């Protein structure tokens, strides 16, 4: 085997990192969790951990490109939102209007829509729903977040439930500059427990609270910082039914530690419009932005369009590269190792069968 072949023999087929020995490449594949679900460069095919890492690779924004040839091709024929690369400028121009979205309706129109939709039944629906809460301040210094407004929308951005919420503890800071909430809004509002039951009824879709199942009627829950919102409502939801844009690895920051990007940044960088520009913020805007992000990621085609079987068996992730197969693994090609590798998260493209 010549030197050039030996180099490619020890090169990762996903991130193109070069190793001196095959055993080092196997260990890299064991810990990196590369897969065909990762964001990839449309020019060279390199796999990146997150969309931010792919932007860095392409030199998008202020960062210097790691590969100038990819950056040049992207600048000529790339979409700055979905980061896809097209064969010609005409294809890019035709694609951009479908990729760049406009903002959600103005809060005043949302309120009228809420009144018209308040009596629509929540049960029997299909598809995911998005949850957004607006917090006011509690505690002696007003820094304790307590829920004072809640909104739930479906995949069509229709409001299923929206209401002010009366907190269980006294409100010491209404944060009016951003929430637009006044004491009179909460005076006759439902309690947190009542709001929680309404939200839970929508999520369970007629099921009992103890009968969550991966293929039952309970709906997928989308949001940004879901743990915070659910905790404010005093409720929980199964992990396998949550789709949190703040905790999904491809949407997180590029760093050694996984850190969340803000919903404002994700909306601007992935959807092409701004939310929360100033003034009063309605939770409907957050719901719509999170739902649009989820649907965009879910629509991305990965392994099933490349002839690979769709495999969402979480148990196989830790067993992809067992130590007892070390010698057999070292005789495999980098492409064969990549085919065996599993992501350390469940890709949202696997939610196709749950669409409405």
105-116 mean pLDDT:
51
Non-local (6+) Cβ contacts of 163 within 8 A are 149, 150, 189, 190, 195, 198
pLDDT surpassing 60 at residue 95: yes
pLDDT-derived band at 112 (thresholds 50, 70, 90) equals very low
Q: What are phi and psi of 110, to 5 degrees?
A: -65, -40
pLDDT surpassing 60 at residue 99: yes
Q: What is the pLDDT of residues 300-350, one digit of tens each?
A: 876 444 444 454 444 454 577 888 889 999 999 999 999 989 888 999 998
Q: Which domains does the chain have, with CATH numbers?
A: 107-111+124-299 (3.30.420.10)
Predicted pLDDT of residue 276: 74
Q: What is the pLDDT of residues 171-186, one digit of tens each?
A: 999 998 888 899 999 9
Cα gap 82→89, rounded to integer Å:
16
pLDDT surpassing 80 at residue 206: no
pLDDT surpassing 90 at residue 285: yes
pLDDT surpassing 90 at residue 115: no
Alpha helices in 164-210 (DSSP H): 176-179, 183-187, 192-204
Higher pLDDT, 312 or 200: 200
DSSP string covering 241-283: GEEETTT-GGGS-SSSS--PPPHHHHIIIIIS-----SS---H
Q: Mean pLDDT of all residues in the chain?
A: 84
Non-local (6+) Cβ contacts of 35 within 8 A are 14, 303, 338, 341, 342, 343, 347
**Could you tell me if 163 and 150 are in contact, meaning their C-beta atoms sit under 8 angstroms apart?**
yes
Predicted pLDDT of residue 106: 59
pLDDT-derived band at 65 (thresholds 50, 70, 90) equals low
Q: What are phi and psi of 67, to 5 degrees?
A: -140, 100
Cα gap 30→23, rounded to integer Å:
11
**pLDDT cut 70: percent of the chain above it:** 80
pLDDT surpassing 60 at residue 154: yes
The number of beta carbons lying within 10 Å of the beta carbon of residue 179 is: 20
DSSP string covering 58-87: HT-TTSPPSSHHHHHHHHHHB-TTT--B-S
Predicted pLDDT of residue 144: 92
Token code pair at residue 21: 């020995």
pLDDT-derived band at 197 (thresholds 50, 70, 90) equals very high
Q: What is the pLDDT of residues 245-284, one digit of tens each?
A: 999 999 998 765 668 899 999 999 999 999 877 777 899 9
- First-to-final CA distance of the chain: 54
Cα gap 6→51, rounded to integer Å:
31
Higher pLDDT, 142 or 62: 142
Cα gap 15→34, rounded to integer Å:
8
Non-local (6+) Cβ contacts of 268 within 8 A are 274
């Amino acid at each position: 085997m010549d030197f050039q072949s030996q180099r490619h023999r020890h090169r990762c087929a996903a991130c193109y990192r070069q190793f001196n020995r095959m055993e080092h490449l196997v260990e890299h594949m064991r810990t990196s969790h590369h897969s065909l679900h990762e964001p990839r460069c449309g020019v060279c095919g390199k796999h990146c951990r997150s969309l931010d890492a792919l932007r860095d690779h392409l030199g998008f924004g202020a960062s210097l490109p790691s590969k100038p040839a990819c950056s040049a091709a992207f600048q000529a024929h790339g979409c700055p939102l979905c980061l896809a690369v097209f064969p010609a400028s005409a294809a890019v121009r035709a694609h951009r209007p479908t990729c760049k979205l406009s903002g959600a309706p103005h809060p005043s129109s949302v309120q009228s829509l809420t009144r018209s939709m308040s009596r629509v039944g929540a049960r029997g629906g299909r598809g995911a729903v998005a949850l957004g809460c607006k917090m006011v301040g509690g505690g002696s210094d007003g820094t304790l977040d307590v829920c004072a407004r809640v909104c739930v929308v479906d995949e069509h951005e229709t409001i299923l439930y929206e209401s002010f919420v009366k907190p269980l503890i006294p409100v010491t800071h209404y944060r009016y500059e951003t929430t637009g909430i006044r004491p009179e809004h909460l005076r006759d509002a439902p309690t947190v427990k009542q709001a929680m039951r309404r939200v839970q009824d929508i999520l369970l879709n007629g099921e009992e609270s103890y009968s969550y199942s991966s293929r039952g009627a309970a709906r997928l829950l989308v949001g940004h910082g879901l743990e915070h919102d659910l905790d404010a409502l005093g409720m929980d939801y199964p992990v396998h039914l949550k789709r949190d844009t703040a905790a999904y690895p491809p949407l997180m920051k590029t760093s050694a530690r996984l850190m969340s990007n803000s919903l404002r940044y994700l909306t601007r960088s992935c959807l092409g419009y701004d939310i929360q520009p100033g003034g009063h913020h309605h939770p409907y805007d957050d719901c719509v932005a999170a739902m649009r992000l989820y649907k965009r990621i879910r629509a991305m085609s990965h392994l099933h369009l490349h002839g690979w079987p769709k495999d969402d068996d979480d148990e196989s992730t830790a067993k992809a590269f067992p130590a007892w197969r070390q010698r057999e693994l070292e005789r495999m090609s980098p492409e064969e190792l990549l085919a065996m590798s599993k992501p350390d998260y469940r890709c949202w493209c696997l939610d196709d069968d749950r669409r409405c």
